Amino acid sequence: MKKTLMLREPSYLDAEIKEIRIEGKTLSVLPKILPYILRYPWLITKSLFAVVIASLTVLAVGTGLRYFVDYGFSNTSSFGLTYALLLLFIIVCVMSFSSYGRLLWVSQLSEKAIADLRKDLFYHLLNLDIPFYEHTPVGEIQSRLTTDTTLLHIILGTSIPIAVRNILIITGGLGMLLLTSISLTGIIAVITPLVLIPILVYGKKVHHYSRLAQEKTAKVSTQLEETLSAIRTVFAFSQEAYMSRLFAEEVDQTYLASLKRIKARARLTALVMVLVFGGIGIVLWMGGQHVLQGDMTPGELSAFLFYAAAVGGAAGSLSEIHGDILRAAGAVERIFEFLSIKPSLKKVSSPLPLPSPHQGHLEFQNISFTYPSRPDRKILKNISFEAKRGETVALVGPSGVGKTTIFNLLLRFYDPSEGAILLDGLPINKLDIHTLRGQIGLVPQDPVLFSANFYENIRFGKLDATHEEIQEAAKAAYADEFIESLPNGYYTHLGQKGVALSGGQRQRIAIARAILKNPTLLLLDEATSALDSESEEMVQKALKALKHNRTTLVIAHRTSTIKKADRVILLSKGQIAATGSPDILKEEKQNYTHLAG
């Protein structure tokens, strides 16, 4: 198959996955799920009770069958036949009710365990830091949170309970076989290892192919997510055929990986069936000889054959379940790879409290920074500046000089390589990260909106805000008028990522969200860049009121934005080239306008 250019870098987890493969973990990872199951001891007790009763009633059918054959036809009266049939009916009823309980309680247990695991995994993902998300595709994360947990749910709710039931049937069935005929049981003892050997041999292959298929499926999800997220770009460049070809190749690779797993499982199942039913045929022939010689009754032979079939069927089923459990082991590996990742950003065990009232006095002291993914390139070099309460500082310079990086460091998406950032005289890495971010309002150049309504999107800035507060924030951002003109007003859904709105409307919703938050520090990444002249004038008025008595940092490209700043910091090649008022800076730097973009 012809190879094409991959659209993503290797996963953040590739090294860890390789390490786990080398260790050869298989079923040893399954105990990691036990803590989630052990949270519900009463459900475990009921489930085990139902599984044991269901298994015992299966074995009791053999005794009922023996009685039915030997005593149901022993006389001309139909009483014995009726009594034997009634006994079988009672056994079947008990087996049905116990199976009902097994399905109900085991499914409930697995649902609760998987729900807890998904919640823990999602919470853990939200506590990882930005580098993880920069190098791990969203599709891969979605695959582990949905596909892998769903597979694990099927295993916990179906395969493992059936495996326990089959183990009990095999154990009890072998005991009943010994009580019925020791000589015939010897044949079963020879057949059993022949069934187990292929399970062990092919089990590793099934596990390997299962893991491979899961990884290929994750790549399909990644390709799908990336394509749909960039659908406008795909359409604009007329690359539908190219993206379809890329997706088709990923799907074909997934099919080939799954086909290898299916073939391995099919070989295993076919071999086990030949061995099991071939053995039953041998047992039937030898048992018939015993009946003809008078060493066994027809009922005993019937019961023996039933137990042999039950043991053989249970062993054959175990071979398939073993493959399913190996698939689950692969899913558990993938899930716990995420859960084992530790954030690179260090959190403070005993954070310092911010002084009250908050002043918003910001200070950068000799800050240098290098992105972990680009260790050979220093983005910031010895950056030092102050921003006082009520002051607006504009960061100016061409793309790539570190303006956005300064915002990222202030939000503690990263920690600086050297130097310290102080807020009200305290190092921000000594503050609680949520307290720090609670003091900051961000209005990005390309605002991110959720596929909810206007009310929920604005309320994201302050979850306990009243409807009146939300409406006032929207009015301050000059968004209330166009919101109210819609049929459902504030309860109108925005569509995926606010696709139904213009760039200017999305920007005003983001500004309303920041206004509602009422932060001490305000970060504006050219917040008016997407607005037309009329809208920009309205929003500038809103921003002027918002910036009052707050510390504001602005990434500025427009001259109109720069002129409204109290102070301008000109960045060049990761360093501060000049600082001062817009007029003074313009006199000192003839290429100021060019550098400002």
pLDDT in tens, 413-431: 888 989 999 998 899 989 8
Given a cut of 80, whether residue 43 has pLDDT beyond it is: yes
Q: Is there a contact between 552 and 392 (Cβ–Cβ < 8 Å)?
A: yes
Q: What is residue 18's predicted lDDT score, i.e. its pLDDT?
A: 37
Do 214 and 321 share a domain, yes or no?
yes
Question: Distance (Å, rounded) from C-alpha 289 to C-alpha 266?
Answer: 35
Do 150 and 284 share a domain, yes or no?
yes
Q: What is residue 128's predicted lDDT score, i.e. its pLDDT?
A: 84
**Which residue would you say has higher pLDDT here, 308 or 367?**
367
Question: Distance (Å, rounded) from C-alpha 589 to C-alpha 397?
Answer: 12
Do 380 and 245 share a domain, yes or no?
no
34, part of any domain: no
- Output DSSP code: residue 442: E
Do 372 and 415 share a domain, yes or no?
yes
Do 121 and 157 share a domain, yes or no?
yes
**Which residue would you say has higher pLDDT here, 342 or 198?**
342
Q: Please state, rounded to an integer, the average pLDDT across all residues of the chain.
A: 78
Nearest to 271 by CA among 327, 310, 304, 320: 320
- Output DSSP code: residue 446: S
- Output DSSP code: residue 453: B
Question: Distance (Å, rounded) from C-alpha 483 to C-alpha 66?
Answer: 79
Q: What is residue 366's predicted lDDT score, i.e. its pLDDT?
A: 92
6, part of any domain: no
245 in helix, strand or coil?
A: helix
Given a cut of 80, whether residue 567 has pLDDT beyond it is: yes
269, part of any domain: yes
> In Å, what is the CA distance from 410 to each residue of 115, 420, 427, 472?
35, 10, 11, 28
Q: What is residue 447's predicted lDDT score, i.e. its pLDDT?
A: 82
Given a cut of 50, whether residue 460 has pLDDT beyond it is: yes
Question: Distance (Å, rounded) from C-alpha 166 to C-alpha 328?
Answer: 19
**Which residue would you say has higher pLDDT here, 460 or 198?**
460
Given the structure tokens 């009015």, which residue do they identify? 475
**Which residue would you say has higher pLDDT here, 18 or 198?**
198
Q: Is there a contact between 74 and 80 (Cβ–Cβ < 8 Å)?
A: yes
Which tens digits make up the pLDDT trace of 346-396?
777 788 888 877 788 899 999 999 887 777 888 899 989 999 888 889 888
Phi-psi region of 340 (alpha: psi -120 to 50; beta: other; left: phi over 0): alpha
Range of lowest pLDDT (19-33, 98-112, 224-238)? 19-33
Given a cut of 50, whether residue 252 has pLDDT beyond it is: yes
Which tens digits make up the pLDDT trace of 475-527?
888 888 888 888 888 888 877 767 778 777 888 888 888 888 888 888 888 76
Do 416 and 501 share a domain, yes or no?
yes
Domain span at residue 514 reads 362-596
Domain boundary among the residues 293, 310, 340 is at 340
Q: Is there a contact between 122 and 341 (Cβ–Cβ < 8 Å)?
A: no
68, part of any domain: no
Do 319 and 373 share a domain, yes or no?
no
Question: Distance (Å, rounded) from C-alpha 500 to C-alpha 208?
Answer: 45
Do 332 and 369 share a domain, yes or no?
no
Question: Distance (Å, rounded) from C-alpha 555 to C-alpha 534?
Answer: 21
Question: Distance (Å, rounded) from C-alpha 256 to C-alpha 247?
Answer: 14
Length of the chain: 597
212, part of any domain: yes
Do 333 and 366 share a domain, yes or no?
no
Question: Distance (Å, rounded) from C-alpha 120 to C-alpha 59?
Answer: 41
**Which residue would you say has higher pLDDT here, 402 or 502?**
402
Name the band, by pLDDT with cuts 50, 70 and 90, for residue 588.
low
Given the structure tokens 């960045």, which residue do they identify? 571
Given a cut of 70, whether residue 165 has pLDDT beyond it is: yes
Q: What is residue 441's predicted lDDT score, i.e. its pLDDT?
A: 87
Do 411 and 547 share a domain, yes or no?
yes
Q: What is residue 422's predicted lDDT score, i.e. its pLDDT?
A: 92
80, part of any domain: no
Q: Is there a contact between 561 and 394 (Cβ–Cβ < 8 Å)?
A: yes
Domains in the chain, number: 2
Above pLDDT 70, what percent of the chain?
81
Question: Distance (Å, rounded) from C-alpha 216 to C-alpha 228?
Answer: 19
For helices 41-72 and 79-126, the axis angle rounded to 10 degrees is: 160
CB burial of 1-25 (b: ≥16 within 10 Å; e: otherwise) equals eeeeeeeeeebbbeeeeeebeeeeb
Given a cut of 60, whether residue 279 has pLDDT beyond it is: yes
Given a cut of 70, whether residue 245 has pLDDT beyond it is: yes
DSSP string, 80-126: HHHHHHHHHHHHHHHHHHHHHHHHHHHHHHHHHHHHHHHHHHHHHHH
Given a cut of 50, whether residue 16 has pLDDT beyond it is: no
Which tens digits make up the pLDDT trace of 122-138?
888 888 888 888 777 77
Nearest to 518 by CA among 461, 467, 466: 461
Do 328 and 407 share a domain, yes or no?
no
What CATH number is given to the structural domain containing 163?
A: 1.20.1560.10
Domain boundary among the residues 280, 308, 340 is at 340
Nearest to 115 by CA among 46, 221, 33: 33
Range of lowest pLDDT (65-79, 287-301, 303-317, 351-365)? 65-79
* pTM of the predicted structure, to 2 decimals: 0.70
Q: Is there a contact between 120 and 149 (Cβ–Cβ < 8 Å)?
A: no
Do 199 and 250 share a domain, yes or no?
yes
Range of lowest pLDDT (231-245, 377-391, 509-523, 581-595)? 581-595
39, part of any domain: no
Q: What is the mean pLDDT of residues 107-116?
A: 87
Question: Distance (Å, rounded) from C-alpha 150 to C-alpha 121?
Answer: 13
Cis previous bond, 355, omega within 30: no
